[in-house]
Structure 1
């Protein structure tokens, strides 16, 4: 293939990125290869390595990624770390591991390569092997404290809290002002619900580095978890200084409203920001803006459109786009509680979502016609391989469906209906043949369909995903199967959250251990099934 003379390297890199993210690895490779010898070709060599990996050629991939690594002047992360964001979405982890195996032949004593490998192992729930590789690295590396901090974090994410805490405290003794170690200790205390110690350590870090957005966000989450809502909402605005948030002008961000703030006739654009769960949770605030006379336009994901159009006050609803319409103020969904200085303990909850009547009637005919208790089930979230934090969160919150087999086998007079979409949905195919779960999700087009199904069943059981927010917003009964280090919105030590009073919480008593959660769910669900009175038509 001849080099295209009128295309710059930037154009080629952008085109290749699009192709790689689309899983068109061979096309990307054909595009990139003529440019591999260009000057300053670090991005080209990296993408060629990724393309070779996607084509299942680990030796060629490792060679080009090694070559790219040599071109780096300063290196804080090995280029092999780039494999997972591209290949993970296509579940090509077997190829990723083969590339690492080849890469170790080129760099048998490279700390960054060991760390990159340990990260992928950790993301794929192989924490014991990740720990082993960091320990191997410690044998030849002189960067002991740095690696021990990484080792402690792997212990922490794996739920091995005592081992993690001991290492963190040893590192703190050696360097009391290491902000990374202090931040990790704060996270540890927050995970075990010791708000006083967690906030103390976050404050230590902030005093040492007050403009670190990520730590200010973590501090805000700790405040919210401790139910210091007003301070928490204010601090949480620091997330706007981190990547992948709104690029709309900060000067037109909707301010905190008082009772006398006049927004009548003002055009307010509310934008999708992070996960669907956050959007579903904060839609509750939209009617109040409309009630105060604002003209509200919602920018949301396509799957949310129908639900949002039925919000009280009938806001304008559009699929989020690139160019913003004219507006007086804009507000990401996650800033809405700050706008209203929200404290869920001071407001009586009212359902704010509705399902479409036509869809309710349609799904009523599609679901099992049974007198049993109808239970919707969700066992997994949505991991994003390009976001390490999202992957680790999903590892903690999602349950391997096999671990729920005792629930399906033990509870009598209950019919289980899958509400699972996305990454974990295939697990239903691996259940024993004598386990029956009705699966309507191949016919589900959007959240509107899921809402209609929920309105036709008696209970939703879910891990911490958007579906638990959907059930909660609809005012339907739900049980949350929650991880030990719970998200702030599921009040620590409580069985119910004021955000969704009909949602019961069953939380792990030990990090990453689901067995006791399943046993308590069996007991609660059987009691509900025994008392169940079939719906009258």
Structure 2
């Protein structure tokens, strides 16, 4: 049996030759004989980083940190591994340990800034990222993260400047291009935004169907599978462009998530609608949200007129306004903390007289469920909403929808139904940076936070306007 020295040489040789499996096996054999072998731990760490599985390097880096206390590189990489595992407390400890010895370590400052950003402290994040790029002005990732922090603070001009610095250093960096696209799109600069928005595909998990990716070239009757991405609201928003594939000579095949299938199939559009869980084989495919770039959609090409209709519309009994309510979106969304409300936040709205509230919320969170249980008469109706066709039928019969940034808000706009959107201080790009209207949906009125987290201001305005509406 080979000894640890020869096994390590074998691991090292395999690593240098790019044979990861052999290097891993040999390094693990070394550690079986010598659990504190620094070189073998380094190889296993490097293999994890090379494979993109940074979180998997944590046990190796933790052993290295114990063997090499105070080593800035080891601690910095340990912080990155904790970040990859979303273990923010230990990540902060690792980056702080580096900064105790090297206060101007740009990577550690940037890493700690990422921790603070994920914790929701955007101001502290911006300060840390700013210190990082001051220490290393050529650090593109630091400029990118600074731009993201500025954006989330609503400092859009500063965000543009920082992201432009990142792109001047690394023009093809996907994260910087994507985040710069967000600011272009938020400003209504779609011609500049759509091409850069394609950078999302470099890091966003999306299905890759069989066939060739369609990039807008002229077609001769080929079927083009339009694949969904992101959330239900995104699919509703971009489905309006599907028929334009015909303008290029193709046959659009719109793949949508199951809950949207019935609604989209019932529109009578000159295209095929399929369930995204079982898409057909087609010669060409295109991500649905790439149609902006592929079709060169300009601001003038975006109409706010309704383009969906409900399968039916029911009118409830009773006096007063019928108002649908949806207050929280997908809890897995990166910005859920900013854009979703708790139902108790809407207490002043719920107290408005002469209003029958209809519960449009799918997926009620535990705190909200308890709030509803304590007030069983809060909603006049809680309909069964098995899919978006059912939701559309309810929305079509309402006098008004009040919603946070959810798929329900997109649905109401696409149906042309009156709706009030409750938006955080820094909204999603499609709602723009200011104003009460959006070019995407004519029937929407937008209520915006004047400062980060200021839902009371929004709710007070909505309650006052609803009271006036109820008095007729």
- Shorter-chain-normalised TM-score: which range? 0.7 to 0.9
* Separation in structure 1 between the aligned mates of residue 117 and residue 209 of structure 2, nearest angstrom: 36
Partner deviation per Cα, 1:214-259 (whole Å, 9 max, x = no partner)? 2222121121112211121111122233242242478541417xxx
* Separation in structure 1 between the aligned mates of residue 27 and residue 264 of structure 2, nearest angstrom: 47
Q: Which residue of 2 aligns with 1:337?
A: 292
Distance 1:346 1:317, change over 3 A: closer
In structure 2, runs of 5+ residues without a counterpart are 1-23, 29-40, 60-65
* Separation in structure 1 between the aligned mates of residue 206 and residue 26 of structure 2, nearest angstrom: 30
Q: Is the aligned partner of 1:404 residue 2:355?
A: no
Partner deviation per Cα, 1:32-89 (whole Å, 9 max, x = no partner)? xxxxxx96899xxxxxxxxxxxxxxxxxxxxxxxxxx99942366444999xxxxxxx
Q: Is the aligned partner of 1:464 residue 2:385?
A: no
Picking from 182, 198, 211, the partner of 2:159 is 198
Picking from 427, 436, 447, the partner of 2:368 is 427
In structure 1, runs of 5+ residues without a counterpart are 1-37, 43-68, 83-104, 123-128, 385-389, 532-537
Q: Which residue of 1 aligns with 2:318?
A: 370
* Separation in structure 1 between the aligned mates of residue 263 and residue 392 of structure 2, nearest angstrom: 8
Equivalent positions of 1:253-292 (< 5 A) are 253-255=214-216, 263=219, 265-290=221-246
Q: Is the aligned partner of 1:241 residue 2:241?
A: no
* Separation in structure 1 between the aligned mates of residue 90 and residue 117 of structure 2, nearest angstrom: 12
* Separation in structure 2 between the aligned mates of residue 131 and residue 479 of structure 1, nearest angstrom: 40
Partner deviation per Cα, 1:168-196 (whole Å, 9 max, x = no partner)? 32222111111222012212333355544
Equivalent positions of 1:384-403 (< 5 A) are 384=332, 390=333, 392-403=334-345
* Separation in structure 2 between the aligned mates of residue 325 and residue 344 of structure 1, nearest angstrom: 33
* Separation in structure 2 between the aligned mates of residue 121 and residue 340 of structure 1, nearest angstrom: 41
- TM-score when scaled to structure 2? 0.77
SS in 1 for 2:253: strand
SS in 2 for 1:280: helix
Q: Is the aligned partner of 1:473 residue 2:414?
A: yes
Deviates more, 1:292-301 or 1:229-238: 292-301
Q: Which residue of 2 aligns with 1:307?
A: 263
* Separation in structure 1 between the aligned mates of residue 128 and residue 166 of structure 2, nearest angstrom: 18
Distance 1:268 1:311, change over 3 A: farther
Structure exhibiting the larger radius of gyration computed from Cα positions: 2
SS in 2 for 1:462: strand
* Separation in structure 2 between the aligned mates of residue 438 and residue 279 of structure 1, nearest angstrom: 29
Q: CA deviation at 1:145?
A: 3.9
Q: Is the aligned partner of 1:116 residue 2:82?
A: yes
Deviates more, 1:287-296 or 1:521-530: 287-296
* Separation in structure 1 between the aligned mates of residue 220 and residue 93 of structure 2, nearest angstrom: 60
* Separation in structure 1 between the aligned mates of residue 368 and residue 305 of structure 2, nearest angstrom: 35
Q: Which residue of 2 aligns with 1:90?
A: none
- TM-score when scaled to structure 1? 0.68
Q: CA deviation at 1:279?
A: 0.6
SS in 1 for 2:405: coil
Q: Which residue of 2 aligns with 1:503?
A: 444
Q: Which residue of 2 aligns with 1:85?
A: none
